[in-house]
Chains A and B, each alone.
Chain A
Amino acid sequence: MLESIVALPGDEIEIRRKEGKELVIGPGLRKDNQNTIVSMKCGLLKKKENFFWLESHQKRYVPSRNEYVIGIAVTKSAETIKIDIGSSEYASLSFLAFENATKRNKPNVEIGDLLYCRVLTGNKDMEPELVCIDAAGKASGLGVLKDGFMFKINLELARRLLSGSNQFLRELSKNIPPFEITIGMNGRIWIKTSSCKQTIFLFQAINQYSNVSESDTENFIKNLLKDYSDWE
């Protein structure tokens, strides 16, 4: 993971990998005719074993299967709800894809509501489809997000915050009153706190965090908390 090669669109990427294992290339990379790997956007080359991809400050979300996203309900029809998840097209969510939903017993979703859902189909030629249940038919946290506040960040930051090794939210939450947070892979974050001030604090803290490296996190949190107590 420590490689820090900066790639620009069209750059040829030289990939050193262990022999014998299959090479997997992820977002931002493409194999061209001459069997060379070419980058398609600007970013940092990252690798994990034999998996390579480019990390950039992209903001446009491209739906992909089994990712958890936050969407905004845009229109309702008899069977489905159209949802904006930040992709080029609206996603559709069936009224039956909620816990305990039947044809008679529809969940209560208003236009403008926020929904935390899982992407069921994320195909480049098809409308994305969402569900609010897991494989066992349980909600397990998915569904309508009531109250709180939602804001947008870049996709890379969302992935960083969601990765298990990231300590930022864990450390931050030890020092401030409890709050609820949901991070969507589409770069949307929903937070619910007990006061407006805390929400604004978290909103600014997360936005500023996008420019802070992993090793500076501890110092950054210290400064944030000092700033917060001064503000209060």
Chain B
Amino acid sequence: MAQPEIKLGEERRGGDTETMEINMGPQHPSTHGVFRAVVELDGETVVKVVPHLGYLHRGIEKIAENRTYHQIIPLTDRLDYMAGASNNLGYCLAVEKLLGIEAPPRAQFIRVIITELSRISSHLFWAGATAHDLGAMTPFFYMVREREQILFFLEMITGARLTPSFFRIGGVAMDLPPEFHDECMKFIKAFPPRVDEYEALLTENVIWKSRTKGVGYLSAEDCIALGISGPMARAAGINWDLRKNQPYSSYDKFDFKAAIYNGCDAYDRYRVRMMEMRQSNEIVRQALEGLPEGDYSVTMKGALKPPAGEVYKAIEAPRGELGFYIISDGTVQPFRMKIRAPTFVNLQSLAKMSEGRLFSDMVASLASVDLVLAEVDR
């Protein structure tokens, strides 16, 4: 699909108008956090976007160098508080790779259940907040209804709503509570009709389509050149989902499809996420039904001292490739830990998506990145 052309800005730019600079943020309701962009406008058309980050830079990588391997787990879920469990998972898998161990099958399934539930809650919040940004307030109230239920489940299992810190190196902290299975099954049955409800509100909605179709255009080539991963890349037709392509934590045992669309725009990013919610729901059902018996954690004795070496482990977080690069020098603390945060890289595309387009579309482009500023700034 070719990039739709907007003539308005092009015609106006030829004249002798002066451009104007607008400052957006660092505290702006539609930036989904403390993000600042200085936008140069010619009338309504964006001429230049200069993003300024770092308003939530907390120095997590430096703190991690001064903590033991177990102490780092609570740091990681504060990176991406929309889906904290994904970050726990990525980190634990990286350390397990460093140690050369694997969590027992039951722990892997429990991890998948929690991670996929977090993915649904993250996408729900994204869709609600984005619809809210673009003027549709009602979907938000529908979506937080189910999100709240998922947070209730997370709290039932882990004791925390947003920041579970439930995964341990070599497994999970404890087994699933006995009442979880039935409660969750009820939710899984009820959820797909709820997604139909959201889609009834948005997918064929004329206003929603006109605000998102062709907006934030990024071709597959641009996506790869800019290092974009996750739903943004899959909305450009790139068939790449790490759960499928480089399976971890038993994802190869589940039957699901990677959500792929070809529109390259904000609308298809929305459709990818809607589809992913249905798929995640399906994964949780399969994991609950096939939950293997056995231990939920490997037993490890003494202080955790991985052998000297370095690994990079990436997982498919709700926003894209989340990678942990850990260097061990054989002591109880990592020598260096680098976090490859998906939104930090994806946000780089903002200028490319917005320049030459209308200013009001920039809000849609920015929202379609699915920003979590704690992860961008680390």
User: Is the A/B pair a real complex?
Assistant: no
A residues with CB within 8 A of B: none
